[in-house]
Amino acid sequence: MKCSEFLHELTNYLDGVLDEKTKVELENHLSWCHNCYVVCDTTKKTIEIYRDSQLYELPEDLRGRLRSAIMAKCQQQKKRGPQSV
C-alpha cells in the first residue's frame, strides 16, 4: 500500500467503516510508515476534539489540508531515500 492509498482510506479507517482486509493493510502500513502514523494519530486526536464538540465529521478542507501536508512530507522523504524498514 502506498501513502496516497493509505491517506485515501484513512478517514474510513478512523470511522470504522473499512472491511477487514483493507484495515489490515492500513495497520500494516502504519507499522513501518512513520509519516502516516503521525497523520493517523493527529487525525484521530482531531476527530476526538470534534467529537467532543458534537461535530463528528471532519470538514473537507481540513482533510484536504492534512492530506497535502503529508504528501509534501512523503515527497521530501522520497528524495532522501527510505529511512525505515
Task: Between 28 and 55, name the residue whose CB sits nearer to Zn ion.
Answer: 28
Q: Which three cell numbers stand for residue 49?
A: 476534539
Q: Which three cell numbers stand for residue 30?
A: 502504519
66 contacts Zn ion (rule: CB under 5 A)? no
Residues 7-36 that bind Zn ion (CB under 5 A): 33, 36
Task: Between 4 and 62, name the residue whose CB sits nearer to Zn ion.
Answer: 4
Q: Would you say 35 and 77 are in contact if contact means Cβ atoms under 8 Å apart?
A: yes
> Least distance to Zn ion from the beta carbon of 54, Å?
31
- By rule CB under 5 A, what count of residues binds Zn ion? 4
